[in-house]
């Protein structure tokens, strides 16, 4: 029942954005539909759902969203190989990004080997502000609201290095499109910080930013840019070293944030299914079976 409603809504959105999609040769004009969060630990179930949802939508500008968890990585590769555009979500570190990028590249390489069209779109979404919220009460004042930007800068450096690598250049020469880096969760959560903090710091070529509407209006009103993000990551290494000295285990925190994010998706999903069940007069487990069965 949920997917019937979501597909109706998102295919209409895709149709509205289709002229932009066509005018930018597939670069912009996308919408996203996530697979059930209950499939986060089920790679085969995720692959099947991604293929089925994409086939049902029948829109070239609709991403299927898959979390970049350890179980999601093989599902991303297989879905790309199957020709499904993928929005990789819940990435929190350079290691997470690299795993998602590798899965994308392997899927494209396999398509080329199989004689298939290598141009399958994908984006990799790095979550930013949740880092700063997680350490707000444990780091010195001069480090507040600086961890998310440092992590994003490091990921951007890895992104640019990957696009310049011989491995990617070979795929690009065969017609493949790059998996673009996306900065997500870029609304400022600290009321004492600038409401355009992350947008101003992370403006960079060939990236996306899914800022909240409130942040978008704030930037339109008083946002300022001071140059593009440095392709070498700028001061990210030095800043991350300062956080390590302050007692922050960045790698461990990345895993924690990813697990918490996945659990939050599950809780929201279950609440949604419960609401649908209440409105439809059916039982929760029946609706859940309809959605993920």
The answer to whether residue 290 is domain-embedded is: no
The answer to whether residue 44 is domain-embedded is: yes
Taking the complete model, does pTM exceed 0.85, yes or no? yes
CATH number for the domain harbouring residue 186: 3.20.20.70
pLDDT value for 173 = 97
The answer to whether residue 273 is domain-embedded is: no
* Tens of pLDDT, residues 134-189: 999 999 999 999 999 999 999 999 999 999 999 999 999 999 999 999 999 999 99
Number of independent structural domains in the chain: 1
Instruction: Tally the C-alpha atoms within 13 A of residue 229's C-alpha that lie toward its C-beta.
Output: 29
pLDDT value for 162 = 96
Task: Give CA–CA dist 50/66, Å, rounded.
Answer: 8
Domain that holds residue 233: 2-254
The answer to whether residue 150 is domain-embedded is: yes
The answer to whether residue 278 is domain-embedded is: no
The answer to whether residue 18 is domain-embedded is: yes
**Cα→Cα distances 52→9, 83, 292, Å:** 17, 12, 12
**Which regions of the chain are under pLDDT 50?**
284, 286-293
Task: Give CA–CA dist 293/49, Å, rounded.
Answer: 10
CB 168 within 8 A of CB 178: yes
Two tokens, residue 246: 């302050």
In 3D space, the residue among 199, 205, 113 whose CA is nearest the CA of residue 163 turns out to be 205
Q: What is the C-alpha radius of gyration for the chain, rounded to an integer number of angstroms?
A: 19
Give 161's contacts (C-beta < 8 A, 6+ positions apart). none
Active-site residue list: 65
The answer to whether residue 142 is domain-embedded is: yes
Instruction: List the alpha helices (DSSP H) in 165-235.
Output: 166-173, 197-201, 213-222
pLDDT value for 143 = 97
The answer to whether residue 219 is domain-embedded is: yes
CB 210 within 8 A of CB 182: yes
Q: Interior CA angle at 54 toward 51 and 213, to 5°?
A: 130
pLDDT value for 285 = 53
């Amino acid at each position: 029942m949920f997917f019937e409603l979501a597909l109706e809504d998102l295919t209409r959105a895709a149709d509205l954005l289709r002229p932009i999609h066509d005018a930018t040769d597939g670069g912009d004009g996308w919408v996203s539909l996530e697979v059930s969060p209950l499939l986060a630990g089920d790679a085969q179930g995720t692959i099947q759902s991604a293929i089925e949802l994409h086939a049902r939508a029948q829109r070239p500008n609709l991403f299927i969203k898959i979390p970049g968890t350890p179980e999601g990585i093989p599902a991303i590769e297989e879905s790309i190989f199957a020709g499904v555009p993928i929005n990789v979500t819940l990435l929190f570190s350079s290691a997470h990004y690299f795993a998602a990028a590798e899965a994308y590249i392997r899927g494209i390489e396999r398509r080329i080997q199989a004689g298939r069209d290598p141009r399958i779109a994908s984006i990799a979404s790095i979550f930013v502000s949740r880092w700063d919220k997680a350490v707000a009460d444990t780091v010195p004042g001069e480090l507040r609201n600086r961890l998310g930007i440092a992590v994003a800068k490091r990921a951007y450096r890895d992104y640019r290095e990957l696009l310049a690598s011989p491995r990617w250049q070979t795929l690009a020469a065969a017609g493949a499109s790059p998996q673009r880096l996306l900065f997500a969760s870029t609304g400022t959560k600290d009321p004492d910080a600038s409401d355009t903090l992350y947008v101003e710091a992370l403006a960079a070529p060939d990236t996306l930013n899914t800022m909240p509407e409130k942040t978008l209006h704030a930037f339109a009103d008083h946002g300022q840019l001071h140059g593009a993000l440095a392709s070498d990551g700028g001061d990210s290494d030095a800043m991350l070293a300062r956080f390590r000295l302050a007692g922050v285990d960045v790698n461990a925190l990345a895993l924690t944030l990813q697990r918490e994010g996945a659990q939050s998706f599950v809780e929201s999903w279950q609440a949604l299914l419960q609401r649908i069940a209440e409105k439809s007069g059916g039982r929760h487990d029946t609706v859940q079976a309809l959605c993920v069965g």
